[in-house]
Amino acid sequence: MPSSRREFIKSTSALTMTSLATTTGLTSSLLAATKSDIEKRYAQAIIIDTLSFAFKWNDKDIENWRRSGYTGIFESLPRRTLKEALDALVTWHQRIAKQPDIFTMALTANDFKTAKSEGKLAVHSRKRSCSWISKT
């Protein structure tokens, strides 16, 4: 049975915690984490989808994002021509301007933290590396 990305992340987190607990001797405290503990930690975490593309960001996509618990996305830009890439950037800026209660532009790591606290989706146009992320 296929699972969602969220279920995969939660399952992987639980397995990682179990492995860490047994190799470091922290077994009792980490293995005592219940499903609600894991859910709470996931809800508090900053989760960034770095493979986001091909969404129309209609009502269904926005509903799915809210259920996912993601804090932000790296939106992949078209690479064929500069015009296509610039058009995609303009589209995102327009979308953010029209729906500032849902989307916010992410230029720094703090932008993701702010989006999390405000219940918004932080959007960054994907680049080839993450060296752009600064601490402020």
37 pLDDT band, cuts 50/70/90, is: confident
> Residue 21, Cα to own-chain centre: how many angstroms?
26
The whole-number average pLDDT for the span 65-85 is 87
Above 50 in pLDDT, residue 38? yes
Q: Is the pLDDT of residue 104 over 90?
A: yes
- Asked if 11 contacts 3 with a C-beta cutoff of 8 angstroms, the reply is yes
The whole-angstrom separation of Cα 75 and Cα 56 is 12
Question: With b meaning 16 or more CB within 10 Å and e meaning fewer, what string describes 12-39?
Answer: eebeebeeebeeeeeeeebeebeeeeee
pLDDT tops 80 at residue 2: no
Let me know: does 47 contact 70? Beta carbons within 8 Å: yes
> What proportion of the chain, given as a percentage, has pLDDT over 70?
66
Using the Cα atoms of residue 58, residue 63, residue 68 and residue 71 in order, give the sign of their dihedral: positive
Comparison of pLDDT for 126 and 57, the residue scoring more: 57
Outline where 45-99 has alpha helix (H).
59-68, 82-98
